[in-house]
Amino acid sequence: MSDLRAIMRVAVLRIGHRPERDKRITTHVGLVARAFGAEEMLMNGRDAHVEESLADVAKRWGGDFVLKADVSWKGEAVRWKDAGGKVVHLTMYGSNLPDVIDEIRKNDKILVVVGAEKVPAEMYDLADWNVAVGNQPHSEVAALAVFLDRLFEGRELVEEFAGGLKIVPSPHGKQVLYPEYSGTKE
């Protein structure tokens, strides 16, 4: 993912993770963050299942994506802004994505915030942009994927991760490159 990281630094902050309810969705938020160009995910709270799943994917599929757990959502947002970054909060109540994406894209350090449960009202004030990926209820996973795709203008879909397994595009069948074997398996 070196080309995208040369353009901008992007991290995802997951607010309100509830281990008993959200481990699958939070894992998917992390998978989308990694695959679509973010370099890390910050999670307020701790969940061994999520941490192990994301570490395993990064190890097997390559790249240097990391999860930083048990962070203070407010502290991270304030630190990000103090370091010159911008905060984008994905919510169906914000400005429509097509209306603000060009302005957001001008920044080189972006923290994307996605909630699990009700997001504290203070986040709406801390955010530089409250962005709606559509104005209907839907998944935060979908909102994150659409946002990152628009942010990187589709470039994340062709980036390669250093090390790890590689899928060989094929109209039929499955082809995977296994670097430790220096060959292809079908």
Task: Please say whether the beta carbons of 62 and 35 come within 8 A.
Answer: no
Task: Please say whether the beta carbons of 34 and 63 come within 8 A.
Answer: yes
Determine the Cα–Cα distance for residues 80 and 3; give it in Å rounded to an integer: 22
> Which residue, 116, 167, 61, 83, is CA-closest to 53?
61
Determine the Cα–Cα distance for residues 179 and 74; give it in Å rounded to an integer: 41
pLDDT at 1 over 80: no
Q: What is the pLDDT of residue 186?
A: 55
Location of structure tokens 């589709």: 154
Model pLDDT for residues 2-35, shown as the tens digit of each residue: 566 677 999 999 998 777 778 899 999 999 999 9
> Which residue, 62, 59, 11, 37, is CA-closest to 159?
37
Alpha-carbon torsion 105, 27, 176, 66, what sign? Answer: positive
Q: What is the pLDDT of residue 103?
A: 98
Computed over every residue of the chain, the mean pLDDT equals: 91
Q: What is the pLDDT of residue 185?
A: 57
Q: What is the pLDDT of residue 180?
A: 67
Kindly state the percentage of the chain with pLDDT values over 90. 69
Domains along the chain? 2-161 (3.40.1280.10)
Location of structure tokens 């628009």: 150
Model pLDDT for residues 126-144, shown as the tens digit of each residue: 999 999 998 888 899 999 9
Model pLDDT for residues 144-177, shown as the tens digit of each residue: 999 999 999 999 999 888 888 998 889 998 898 8
